[in-house]
Structure 1
Amino acid sequence: MKTSLMLSSALAAVIGCAAMSANASPSAEEMKKMEKCYGVAKAGQNDCAANGHACAGQGTKDMDKAEWKAVKKGTCEKMQGSLMAPKA
C-alpha cells in the first residue's frame, strides 16, 4: 500500500512539473516578440530552470536576479529588470 502511494505521488509530481513547464513557457514563435528579463519574476512565475531547480514556476523568491521571465520586447528595463544574466 505504501509503495503504491509513493509511486502515485512521484508520478503526480513529474506530470505536474511537465505541465507547469508546458503552460508557463512561451512558444518559440512567441519568444521572437519577447526578451528574457532577469530580476522581475515573482516567486513561482519564472519561465525557466535556475538556482538549482529544473522547472519553470519553481522560483522561490520575488525579483531574484538569477530568475528570468519572458516579457514583451522593450519592456524589461522599464520594469527595472536586466537583459543580462547575472555573473556566476
Structure 2
Amino acid sequence: MKKIVIPLLLGLFATIPHHLPAASYKSIIVNQSDGSEMKVTIEDDMKTTVAEGNLVISCTKGDIVLPVIDIKNWTFSTSAGSDDV
C-alpha cells in the first residue's frame, strides 16, 4: 500500500502550481454592524491604525475614522472603491 500511496502523493504535489498569482486588490470593504458598507480605494502609502477605539484609514482624501465597535467585518476586493471615500 505504501508503495502506491507515496508515488501518487508525489505526483499530486508535482501537478500543483508552486506560484499562484496574487489577486490584484483595489479596495477595502468595511461592513458595519448597522448593515452599511464602505468601500475604500487602496492607495500607495495608505495607512490603517487603531487609535482610541477607532479604526483610522489615512489616504489622500483625508482620514476615515470608524468606531471599532461598529465594524462587523472587513475584506479586500478586486473591484474599485468609491470615488467619494
TM-score (norm 1): 0.29
User: When you count helix as a share of all residues, which structure comes out higher?
Assistant: 1
- Which protein is bigger by CA-based radius of gyration? 2
Between structures 1 and 2, the one with greater strand share:
2
Question: TM-score under structure 2 normalisation?
Answer: 0.30
Higher relative contact order (CA 8 A, sep 6+): 2
